[in-house]
Structure 1
């Protein structure tokens, strides 16, 4: 949010007011998100915001899985409907839950959103590191095989500074 406010201020020359406006806007956005997280079902229904408590909502996952996502994952796993190998971007929460992301068209822009499904890591009995792959940022990421209970997937965990879940 702060970055958007700062970029909008560059059109007429950067001024101190642009920085203050960006900070205030960011604070309001975070405050709204926190209040939505605390709202009860009746309040959300009255505001037509029931979607906040659905698995498609990041606020739902943040509330249910003890806080903000702690890292991102690139997964190669069976598709939940067809079982064919597929890639999926995901985020992992503090309690270990992995929520998959989907690409949605929002206001004519493709954006990552919560896919509404994911999995707990309680089935993972073994994580085997296959090695590392280099990135264009000059670092290397681990490539792991997670296996257990006749299930397997390839995971590439990474931490990237970010303002959003994707």
Structure 2
């Protein structure tokens, strides 16, 4: 008995990292259930695991008639989706690395640590002095930016919120 099943299967030409899981079960009614799952090891996107297997449930003759036509169509779509996921993930990693490079250029990483701490402490000290004088808006302006000192972001936000609560929000308040 000669069969061309595997020749037709390899003609679909999956990539080298692709794994096909084929399960065939005999149903009680004389039909068979064929499940085909496409797994691409090169795609690291977890969403690819959500793609369900292709399932056929019919008589062996009917599955013989349509199996390769249907899997070629369905798997072509699945392959395109998984390739798109993989490409998206690569671009996301590239953007992440580029963003980290830009962030390190613009951050205080190139300044000595003592200078950064001194600048932060000096700004906060000046804000304390202005607050003690009742100049809440000026003090708020002297509190450094959370972007400039991300390690103190929570403290900076809390300090600015406390100072802004002291503002006179009347209609004719002075600036």
TM range (shorter): under 0.3
When you count helix as a share of all residues, which structure comes out higher?
Answer: 2
TM-score, structure 2 normalization: 0.21
**Structure with the greater alpha carbon radius of gyration:** 2
